[in-house]
Structures are given as C-alpha cells and as structure tokens.
Amino acid sequence: MPNVMDSVTAVKGVGHKKAELLAKLGIHTVADLLTHFPFRYEDVSIKSLDELEDGQKATIAGQVVTQPVVQYYGRKRNRLSFRLRVDQAVLSVVFFNQPYLKKKIHMEEELVVYGRYDMGKGQLNGFKIFNQQADDNDVEAIYHVTQGLSQKTLMTYIANALATYQLAIPERLPYDLRAKYHLISHSDAIKNMHFPESEEKGVEARRQIKYEEFFLYALRLQWQNHLRRQVGNGAPIIYDNQQLKQFIETIPFELTKGQKQVVNEICADLRQDYQMNRLLQGDVGSGKTVVALIALMATYLAGFQGALMVPTEILAEQHFASLSEFFADTSINLALLTGSTATKQRRQILADLKNGDCHIVIGTHALIQADVAFDNLGLVVVDEQHRFGVKQRQQLAAKGEHYAPNILYMTATPIPRTLEITIMGDMEVSKLQEMPNGRLPIKTAWMRKNQQAMIDELLREQLASGRQAYVICPLIGESEALEAQNAEYIYQEYLEKYGHEYHVGILHGKMSNEDKDAAMNQFKDNETQILVSTTVIEVGVNVPNATFMIILDADRFGLAQLHQLRGRVGRGEHQSYCVLVADPKTDNGRERMRIMASSTDGFYLSQQDLVLRGAGDYFGTKQSGLPEFKLADPIADQVILETARQDAQQFLPILLDHADDYPQLSSWLATMRADFSA
Ligand code: ADP
Ligand code: MG
C-alpha cells in the first residue's frame, strides 16, 4: 500500500543523488514532495500573435516551416533558429545555448513553444518546448529549486508521485464542511496546486489548503484546551489564604488595583484541579514580576514546586536576586540554574529539584534540558514568553511528574487579537492595564547625530541630579564580535567625556558571564552611572534609578524592540527620558522615529510595527512561537483564519461524540493526544 509518509526515494525517478538535493529543500517524504507548493504560476495558454505585446512571455503554437539550424560562435555559445508558421504569419524562433532541442524540431510538424515575444524583430526568444500531448493546462507551476535540480525534474517527480500516491493522500476535512464551502477533496486540491487547469483553479486550491491548515490547527488547539480542562489533570494549588495575605503584606509597595485583580484571577485558576494555561499581558514596567512572585508563593504554600524561565542569563540573575530579597524571611529554598552554573553546583540543584528540597528554580533554557526533573512541579512561569519557541515553552510544562503543571506566560509584547488566538488558542488572558502609581510617562525625543551637544547637556543634567543612564549601541547584527568592538569604541568615547566625573560601565554579549554580572551589579548599586550596552539588556532589566537612555542609530531597531529597550527607564518615581539618535535615510525610517517619539503605548507601537515592517520582521524568526503553516499566513489570511476557527469550535463537540464517524481526524487527534501528554 502506498503511504505518503514513504521516503521520497519511493517515487519513480528519484535516486539517492537527487534525494540529497531534495533534502536541501526540506523534502524527505512523499508528503513533503507533494506539499512542496509552487510560489507562482506561469501563463502557458496558447496565444495568437495579435494578442501579444512586445516583450510579453507567451506560449505559441505553429507549424515548423524551415529546418532548424545551430550556429556556434565563441566558445560554448550557440544559437538554434528556425521558422514557425503561426496563423497566417511566419515567426522566427531562436533558442540560445540549448542545441539539444534541435532533435525535437521536425519540418512540417506542430510545435508549442514558450518564450518572450520581440515584436520589432518578429521573433520569439524561446525558453522551452512543450510536449503537446502532456500539457493541456493553461498555467504551469513555478517552484523553488536548488542547484542541480531543475523545475522540470521537480515537476516530473511531483507528477510521478501523484500518479502513485494521489489516492493515498488522506482527507483532512469532515464531509459536512467540504459540502458547506463546495470544496474539493484534499488530494484534488493538492493536485490542483501543482497542475491547475487554469490560474483560477490554482488560486482556489491555495485558498482551500489555507483553510484546511487553519481548521486543523484550530481544532487541535481546542482539543488540547478540552483535555486541559478535564478535571483531575492539573495540579490543584490549595494554599492557605491567610499565609499568602501575610506574605503580600511584606512586599514593600502596595499592589495596584490591576495587580490585585490579576493576582485574584490567577489564584482562582490555580486552585482548580485542571491545568491553568494563562497569559499575563502587561506593558513594559507594569509590574508583572511581583504577580509571578505571588503565584509562586501560593504554589509553595500548597506544597508544590515552581519554576520561572526567562530568555537571558542577565534576566535570570536579576530575578534571582530580587526574588531572594522578597523571599528572605520565608523558608523557601531558591535556586538559579543557567548555562553557566558550575557542574558541581548544577548536580546539587538537580538533586534538590528531584527530591523536593528546592522549592523554586529560576533559570534560562537550562531548565528544559532532559536531565532536569522535579519532585512535584505545580507552576511554570515563562517570562518574556515571545522569546521562546512553541516547543521550548511546552518542554518545561512537560516536566510535571504527577500532574500537568499550571502555566503562566508573561509578555509585554502585545499581539493583535486574531494572532493571539492563533498562537495561544483559547488560553485565558489576564491584562495589566495600568502602571504602578506615580509612574510618569517617559519623554522621548528624536535627535540628529549633529545634536550631540544638546544630548550631552540633557545627560549631564540627569547625572548631576543623581540619576543614571544607559547608552544603547547600534544594532550591527553581522556578528557579536563586531557589536562588542563597536561597544568598546563608544565606551571609550563616553569614558573620555565623562570619566573624570562619573564611572562608566560596559556590557556586551562577548563578555564572560562573571564580567556581565559584575557590570550589571555595579550599575544596579550605582557604582557606575553610565552603562554603555548592546541590546543584551533589552528585556526585563530593572534599575529604577536609571532615568536616561540614549539609543544610537535608533532607526535600525523595530518599534517593538525600541519600546522594550526604552522600558528599561521610567521604572521608578523620577521623570525619565529617552533620546533616539538617528538620521534615517528612508521615509519609513523617519516615520518610525516620529511614531516612537510620540507614543508610549506598547499596543499601538506593536501594531504600527506590524504595519510598517510586515509580519515576518515583526516576529523575527521561528523564535516568535508563531506556528508554521505551509501556505496560510495568520496576518494576511485573517478572514480565513477566523472562519476556520469558528468551524473548528462547532465541529469539536461533534467529533468528540462521534469519533467513529471520523476515523481519519480521530486518529490524527489521538497522536496529538500523545504529544500533549508526553
Ligand atoms: P515588567 O512588567 O516590565 O516585568 P517589573 O515587574 O520589572 O515590570 O516591575 C517594574 C518596576 O516596578 C519594579 O521596580 C517593581 O518593583 C516596580 N513595581 C511593581 N509593582 C509596583 C507597585 N504596585 N508599586 C510600585 N512599584 C511597583
Ligand atoms: Mg519583566
């Protein structure tokens, strides 16, 4: 029985050499090959000469009326030419450097040629010759290929794969939905992606497959949500409310109304015996950490362990230091686990986590390594969650021994509603709408490089009144080494200018972890007043006395990133300032600087970022945690996404009640279930 999961070498014509080339395109199985979709179609319908414009690419059919001749000139260069009678006219046809085509051209025979029409010369510059019997479609698919693997070969493989496997392509949609939208079968849609009769059929197939992708994705999210909500699966965090209240009393500031509200939401959810899956959204500086702290405390009081995962070591160190302070008068045993934890210490921490002696662990990706195991993990907090991939977030959550641990994701990067649904499914969302009391909005100015004198004046004013400042080095991106070198250079500059009055520090990715910690601690303790830094401080860093930030070449950053960076100031009672230094060369760059200087609203900024940079840039790489679809684009195809989501919502109860009627989908979800509980 042919199975689409067969190796691609099972396809007729695919040998081991070519399989290696296919692997470069990410094609390993027959299914991979069949879903290696074209990125556009070429119109190859046969045209008559009088409908052609000069320079147009078109397919022409005619009768060969002269013998083909190949002329050689120079080394290796040659020209094949002949004449073709098309309707009542005679057209000269030339092919450059394809002498082997000569054997396909025979006097008096009909020939179909694709090429570019040169009206002035009455000539067609041919690209290829079609085999008349096989090509009765009006369009031809164009694929991404790789060196050594031509369009033609790839198309042959796909045609061969379809010949053997088309009937083996499983259906993806329930029949009712196909009927509702007049959709064709999945296997026909796949066929039409590659060999559409017309451009329209190709476009329809594309839309159908996008819908299928969204539908299946949404169905899976809702299924997971359903499983999660099944009673008894989650760790019930039953804590002593009095004790928690007493702990909250020891926090040196009064929680804002918003913080109290989200703490209540989270704690109510934690007490349930199904798994919590909640996103805490709050703009930069809104005070998410203390909310996590209270949730972790509740978890501890209920006799469970907690874990807090963050994207950078600097942030892990910082959270460890501040949580140590908050928990100083408790008997909580806190640990810090990062990539640079010494082997011996790491071994001890792993042992303590396993036997339950360690109550709360704070760390980086080091937490999701295979040998990290817990005694009874009850709560996982993922800070700056947008910096982790979907897999990474799930890996930590999978470390629960007896229960699926409760999960709290935290982020300052707000996402539009539809995307939120796509990424998060129907997860609960808590929002921190307000900033802590007395917080003044950061004043932002955009200045040109030649206004340095003014910038210095502002900086001196802040330093003189006892405040501290960040100087953010330009984003170079090519390498961390270059970035470090540049940071050194800027550091020297500031040292010369300010060194005799103030202490200047430096922080970049190439420094050892000890040096990084030292630099961060010195700044925190106000031993250094100016910190020259790369974007390593982008997320989470909290030094409330720092009120001034200079961002060099600010136009190289995206708005969302600038907002994160700028969020390092304005974290205390004092008025804070941010100076964007940039001479942008494009309108887009200038527009971004204007927007940045005029708004401190993270939600607005990230939407503008989306508009100005497009989804790809906005979310960066796979880091973003956006699911990967073959064709569907959650931003461009929002309408399809919303339709598919609603359909999935209506269909899930039907599927749950009549699993036997949908064997394909049921078995597919059953494998999902394995993923989910693994
Ligand atoms: P973020 O949401 O960006 O992670 P943090 O949790 O780091 O923000 O909090 C920013 C600063 O605000 C910290 O110095 C924190 O101690 C302080 N803070 C948080 N909540 C309050 C509050 N209710 N009143 C005063 N300061 C607060
Ligand atoms: Mg934070």
In angstroms, the Cα distances linking 154 to 123, 130, 143 are 30, 16, 8
Q: Is pLDDT at 624 greater than 50 in this prediction?
A: no
Domain count, the chain: 5
**Structural domain contains residue 192:** yes
Per-residue pLDDT, averaged over 165-188, amounts to 93
The answer to whether the CB of 544 is under 6 A from ligand 1 is yes
Neighbouring-strand partners of residue 551: 472, 580
Q: Nearest ligand to the C-alpha of residue 291?
A: 1
Question: Quick one: pLDDT at residue 294?
Answer: 98
Domain-located, residue 626:
no
Nearest CA to ligand 1 atom 17: 287
Atom of ligand 1 nearest to the CA of 567: 3
448 and 525 inside one domain: yes
| Best CA proximity match to 237, nearest among 307, 293, 305 | 305
Output the CA 489–ligand 2 centroid distance in Å. Answer: 30
CA of 602 to the centre of ligand 2 (A): 14
Ligand that lies nearest to the alpha carbon of residue 315, given by its number in the listed order: 2
Q: Is 412 in the pocket of ligand 1 (CB under 6 A)?
A: yes
Q: What percent of the chain has pLDDT above 90?
A: 60
Q: Judge if 285 and 406 occupy the same domain.
A: yes
**For residue 662, how many C-alpha atoms fall within 13 Å in the half-sphere facing its CB?**
21
403 and 459 co-located in one domain: no
Entry pTM = 0.71
- The answer as to whether 619 is a domain residue is no
Tell me the helices (H) and strands (E) count for the chain, helix number first. Answer: 21, 21
Q: What is the pLDDT of residue 421?
A: 64
Please check whether residue 462 is in contact with residue 469, taking contact to mean a CB–CB distance below 8 angstroms: yes
- Say if ligand 1 is within 6 A of residue 286 CB: yes
- For the cut 60, the answer to whether the pLDDT of residue 622 exceeds it is no
The pLDDT tens digits for 593-615 are 999 999 988 878 877 877 776 55
Is 489's C-beta closer than 6 angstroms to any atom of ligand 1?
A: no
Per DSSP bridges, beta strands 77-86 and 69-73 are antiparallel
User: What are the CA-CA distances from residue 112 to residues 68, 133, 143, 222, 502 (Å)?
Assistant: 15, 10, 22, 52, 79
pLDDT value, residue 417: 62
Query: Angle between the 288-301 and 241-249 helix axes, to the nearest 10 degrees?
Result: 140
| 454 and 422 both lie in a single domain | no
Contact (Cβ atoms closer than 8 angstroms) between residue 471 and residue 455: no
Please, what is the average pLDDT of the chain?
89
The reply to whether 10 falls in a domain is: yes
For position 595, what pLDDT does the model report?
Answer: 94
Q: Which of 306-320, 409-423, 609-623 has the lowest mean pLDDT?
A: 609-623
The DSSP H or E segment spanning 525 is: none
- Is residue 267 in a domain? yes
Q: Are residues 593 and 490 in the same domain?
A: yes
Q: Which of 397, 432, 467 is the last residue of a domain?
A: 432
**pLDDT of res. 678:** 29
CA 141 to chain centre: 28
Domain at 492, CATH number: 3.40.50.300
Place of tokens 């020259």: 532
Pairwise CA distance, residues 27 & 454, whole Å: 57
Choosing from 281, 289, 315, 432 the residue with most ligand 1 atoms within 8 A of its CB, the one to mutate for a pocket test is: 289
DSSP-derived secondary structure letter, 625: -
Residue scoring higher pLDDT (501 or 483): 501
What CATH number has the domain bearing residue 35? 1.10.150
Structural domain containing residue 210: 172-231+636-677
Q: How would residue 623 be classed by pLDDT, with cut points 50, 70 and 90?
A: very low
Looking at residues 358-380, what average pLDDT do you find? Answer: 94
Distance 436 CA to ligand 1 centre (A): 7
Question: What average pLDDT does the segment 489-501 reach?
Answer: 95
Let me know if residue 565 belongs to a domain. Answer: yes
Choice between 533 and 388, residue whose per-residue pLDDT is larger: 533
Asked if 253 and 331 sit in the same domain, the reply is yes
How far is the centre of ligand 2, averaged over its atoms, from the C-alpha of 529 (Å)? 22
Domain boundary among 552, 584, 599: 599
Kindly state if the Cβ of 259 falls inside 6 Å of ligand 1: yes
Choice between 362 and 41, residue whose per-residue pLDDT is larger: 362
For residues 253 and 320, membership in a common domain is answered with: yes
Mean pLDDT computed over 331-359: 96
Evaluate: CB of 570 within 6 angstroms of ligand 1. no
Asked if the model's pLDDT at residue 442 lies above 80, the reply is yes
Q: Degrees (nearest 5) of the Cα angle 182, 183, 185?
A: 140
Q: Which ligand is nearest to the CA of 287?
A: 1
Assigned domain for 147 exists: no
* pLDDT score at 132: 58
Q: Is the domain of 407 the same as that of 458? A: no
Mutate to test the pocket of ligand 1, among 325, 409, 571 (most ligand atoms within 8 A of CB): 571
Amino acid identity of residue 76, one-letter, is: K
Gyration radius of the chain's alpha carbons: 31
Confidence band (pLDDT; 50, 70, 90) for 539? Answer: confident
If asked whether residues 540 and 468 sit together in one domain, one would say yes
**3-state SS assignment for residue 67:** coil
Q: Which pLDDT score, from 0 to 100, does residue 621 have?
A: 39
- pLDDT tens track for 269-312: 999 988 998 999 988 888 999 999 999 999 999 999 999 999 88
Given CA atoms 479, 481, 482, 486 in this order, what sign does their dihedral have?
positive
Give the number of whichever ligand sits closest to the CA of residue 286: 1
Q: Are residues 563 and 450 in the same domain?
A: yes
pLDDT for 136: 67
**Residues 367, 463 within the same domain:** no
Closest C-alpha to ligand 1, atom 3: 285
Phi and psi for 350 in degrees, rounded to 5? Answer: -60, -40
Residue nearest to atom 26 of ligand 1 (CA): 436
In this predicted model, what pLDDT tens digit does every residue of 198-250 receive, in sequence order? 889 999 999 999 999 999 988 888 888 888 777 678 889 999 999 999 999 99
> Are both 514 and 402 inside the same structural domain?
no
Contact 273, 232 (CB under 8 A): yes
Residue 438 lies in a domain: no
Give the nearest ligand 1 atom to 289 CA. 6
Q: Which amino acid is at 319?
A: H
Q: What pLDDT band is residue 416 in, cutting at 50, 70 and 90?
A: low
**pLDDT at res. 462:** 96
